[in-house]
Amino acid sequence: MASQQPFTADDFGIYCVLTECTDHYDPFPVNEADENQPHFQGVTGLQNLGNTCYMNAILQCLCSISPLVEYFLSGKYITALQKDCSEVATAFAYVMTDMWLGDSDCVSPEIFWSAFGKLYPAFMKKTQQDAQEFLIYVLNELHETLKKYHRRRSYEKRSIPRSCRKMIANESSIITRLFEGQLNYSIICLKCENCTYKNEVFTVLSLPIPSKYECSLQDCLQCFFQQDTLAWDNQIYCSFCETKQETAVKANISKAPKIIVFHLKRFDILGTMKRKLRTDIHYPLTNLDLTPYICPIFRKHPKYNLCAVVNHSGDLDGGHYTAFCKNSVTHAWYNFDDARVSEIPDTSVQTATAYLLFYSCRPFSIPIQKRRS
């Protein structure tokens, strides 16, 4: 851990001291008209600290996922904290607490940004960053901070086909329980037809965009999961042939996560050429069917509902991130544009600027909270 003085897990006094430097003025003063507007839990804007719209959009999406909110607001995270690296998770809990239990329409994420930047200085430069990359770093850091070890035990039965077997991990956290899935790759040598299998865990699935102008999310999924042939420079070594051979590779989901995040690969780099794909991708708000891509014996929750979206407008060098999130208290959708928050109809959630899609296999309930004394 890079910090010299990590936060104490349950000491909100430290939080108050750290925020004193930003409390001398209010950049978002509340007028009398705003005071009459109802403030709902979890419907809170975030100050932009200088090109930090990518961070604000990700924080809004994560703070709209009820099981994660409940884990932090109830204080469960405190018992799981690793003593030597608790600063980021504690700062994350403080921001989430402000967003859900505070009475302000807008709060500052500076405590989290500062703690995270000590570990990953690239995100402190106040320059354009990729929201998808930031999300992966945040999930990984929270997992490392909150993980618990357990003995390896074999849960797999021999009757389960090798193509569907799940890899048994020896550590888990709230992040793996919610976001971690597993892909199973079948790898077939096209000369000797020997078949091997490879497992790979994921928290975000990066989907290719098969069309330049318009397509559906199912089109992207079909493109990702279709059988691919690896030839020429991409050949894979076959242990039976004892040389590299042309290979057919096909993936399926052997473990479907409770929250599945799709990254739509809009940023395309061909050599020195960079471009953004502005394809209008149609995605369902409810009943996304993943049945064709999940191993049959693990199809417990094959249908998913949209719970959050990260949007990217503009180009690669000068874009802006916003978020659409469905609130578990009001059951309404909201547009989060840094400090600005507005309710939007369901019909506005479908947009050609979608970059990250968060789907849940179950509807969210209102999180159980433990208020500060």
3-state secondary structure of 310: strand
- Identify residue 325 by its one-letter amino acid code: C
Instruction: DSSP letter for 36, please.
Output: T
Q: Which residues are catalytic, by number? A: 53, 320
**Residue 186 is encoded by which pair of tokens?**
């079948």
Distance CA 284, CA 29 (A): 38
3-state secondary structure of 278: coil
- End-to-end Cα, the chain, rounded Å: 30
Q: How many CA atoms lie within 13 A of 125 on its CB side?
A: 7
- C-alpha torsion 286→289→293→296, nearest 10: 120
Provide the phi-psi class of 365: left if phi over 0, else alpha when psi is between -120 and 50, else beta. Answer: beta
Beta bridge partners of 206: 263
Distance CA 106, CA 84 (A): 31
Helices (H), the chain: 12-19, 32-35, 53-62, 66-73, 76-80, 87-101, 110-119, 131-146, 174-179, 217-225
The beta-strand segments (E) located in 203-346 are 204-207, 214-216, 228-230, 236-238, 243-245, 247-255, 259-264, 267-270, 273-276, 280-282, 288-289, 303-313, 320-326, 333-337, 340-344
Q: Are 77 and 177 in contact (CB under 8 A)?
A: no
3-state secondary structure of 131: helix
Residues sharing a CB contact under 8 Å with residue 338, sequence separation 6 or more, in sequence order: 45, 46, 47, 48, 53, 56, 322
